[in-house]
A and B are shown apart, each in its own frame.
Chain A
Amino acid sequence: MIGDAFVFDGVAHLFNFDAKNPLGRPGEMFSQHIYAFHQALTPAGETVLPPEEFLRQWTVEDIRRMVYDESDTDMLCAMPLPLTDLYKDGLSPWEECAELASRDPDRTVFWGSVNPLEGRKALDLMERQVGEFGAKAFKFYNVRYDYGSPFPWRMDDPRVAFPVFEKAQQLGVNLIGVHKGVPLGPQPIEHTQTWDMDGAAANFPDINFVIFHVGLPFLDEVCWQLIRHPNLYASLAATINFVVRAPRMFAETLGKLLFWCGEDKIVYGSETPIWHPQWALKAFWEFEIPQDIIDGYGYPQLTEQAKRKILGENLLRLHGMDVEETKQRLGRAQSH
């Protein structure tokens, strides 16, 4: 817990940045982009790793140490990356994420991930990830590089996306995340935009969809979608890491989300190990939207109640977990 806020971190990846892992130049660019984010947004006074220490294979123990030993995090989503067209092992193999979750079965939740373009194979893998490894949700990525060139798919495609949503529901899973905005590597921008989320949300009203990274830079579009669809949510993963380097920009983003979408629709994610989770967590807990932005634009203040919801309570609800019971059972006193 940080203060009295239960912290449920929505995303950590077990990256394998080993130099032998990328399948070609697009994979190498993807890795370099992620390293650039680490360098650019880690604030002064925190450790910026040299490339040789960052661009390596991260281990289960690295993630557990950073998240549970070195930060005030109470729960975590272990999230694979299924980029098997960019990296030999997809960059964050689902099997290792399942292993990460198995180490702390009460605290770490495994999210599955498949490539919907693989049809039957993807559906079979979803069954396995839920049945054998206890996946509680799925995360998808809309741009593939099959056959050496960008190969996008849409969340509102009845032939590609809807079968995996239907399969998720058959398996008892009603929580689906999707990477939006923030193109990494040579991804075509149009397919990381969020236009397809209306169709997904409207056709599957019983599934809650989380738009990761708030879909930045397409913030106004995402706000309109969250306003109109009760089953759409926005994750601050990676966005929260602007809180120290660019606090006014972060305040603008958060103020807009709070006013238009409300504090119940926003969830937290650390993106460990791209950044160490503790500095952004602490800065967010202490963050206030500057008064001149509130006075000038009419945005609401980021209250402690909103912080508690964003840092953990909303994601607990999305996982079908009782907030108070889980806080009592798993909440750890702040120690950092």
Chain B
Amino acid sequence: MADVSGRYLDALRDVYDPCCREKGISVVDMGLVRSVLVQDGHARVELLLTSGWCPFAARVLNDVHDRIAALPEVADAQVDVVWDEAWTTDRLSPSAARKLNFLPAPALISDRDAYVMAHTKEADGDR
């Protein structure tokens, strides 16, 4: 059955894209896992990439595959990158969103220039 919230996700909570490892943000917190379907011992995982240029796609695919394949009820596992949906910051977990300085969707701010001014000052103040 499909499961994106239960034990299959738990199995992936310490799998990291190397870009996010030092920030402690797993592939689950990044929202890279779209679905996990396990049926008759066969597991299929769908992953979204934050960028088509993700240089570690192959490594993440391998790590996810190995972790899911290690579950006792899984005989074989398949991991696919899906392209019919774009990863967006909406997929970040609350903790990941706090750690990353992503730009908000324009629709969520009333004034681009005011936002830039406020956050540029904030960034300069941090330095």
Contact = CB atoms under 8 A, between A and B. Distances in A.
Contacts of B112: 259-260
A182 B106 contact: no
A237 to B, nearest CB: 11
B120 A227 contact: yes
B55 A249 contact: no
B101 A217 contact: no
A296 B51 contact: no
A297 B105 CA distance: 5
A246 B105 contact: no
A224 B55 contact: no
Interface string B80-103: 000111111000000000001111
Given A213-B53, A217-B54, A227-B120, 19 more contacts: A181-B55, A183-B55, A189-B19, A192-B55, A216-B52, A216-B53, A217-B19, A224-B123, A228-B120, A238-B53, A239-B53, A246-B83, A249-B87, A253-B51, A296-B105, A296-B107, A297-B106, A298-B106, A298-B107
A176 to B, nearest CB: 22
Nearest to B54: A217
A198 B103 CA distance: 18
A299 interface: yes
Contacts of B106: 259, 297-299
Interface string B99-122: 011110111100010001000100
Interface in A222-274: 223-224, 227-228, 238-239, 242, 245-246, 248-249, 251-253, 256, 259-260
B68 to A, nearest CB: 24
Nearest to A300: B106
Contacts of B52: 41, 216, 242, 245-246, 249
B5 to A, nearest CB: 24
B53 A181 contact: yes
B18 interface: yes
B50 interface: yes
A219 B51 contact: yes
Interface in A180-227: 181-183, 189, 192, 213, 216-217, 219-221, 223-224, 227
Nearest to B89: A220
Interface of B: 18-19, 50-56, 83-88, 100-103, 105-108, 112, 116, 120, 123
Interface residues of A, number: 33
Contacts of B87: 249
Contacts of B51: 216-217, 219, 249, 253
A52 B49 CA distance: 30
A238 B120 CA distance: 29
A41 B55 CA distance: 15
A248 B86 contact: yes
Nearest to A259: B106
Interface string A297-309: 1110000000000
Contacts of A299: 106
A220 B92 CA distance: 14
Contacts of A253: 51
Ranked nearest first, the 3 interchain pairs of A and B with the lowest CB-CB distance are: A298-B106, A298-B107, A217-B51
A221 B55 CA distance: 17
Nearest to A238: B53
A259 to B, nearest CB: 5
Contacts of A183: 55
Nearest to B85: A248
Contacts of A242: 52
A217 B83 contact: no
Nearest to B53: A216
Nearest to B56: A189
B20 to A, nearest CB: 11
A181 B50 CA distance: 13
Contacts of A259: 106, 112
Contacts of B85: 248
B50 A217 contact: yes
B55 A220 contact: no
A85 to B, nearest CB: 19
B56 A249 contact: no
Given A216-B53, A217-B51, A242-B52, A249 B86 contact: yes
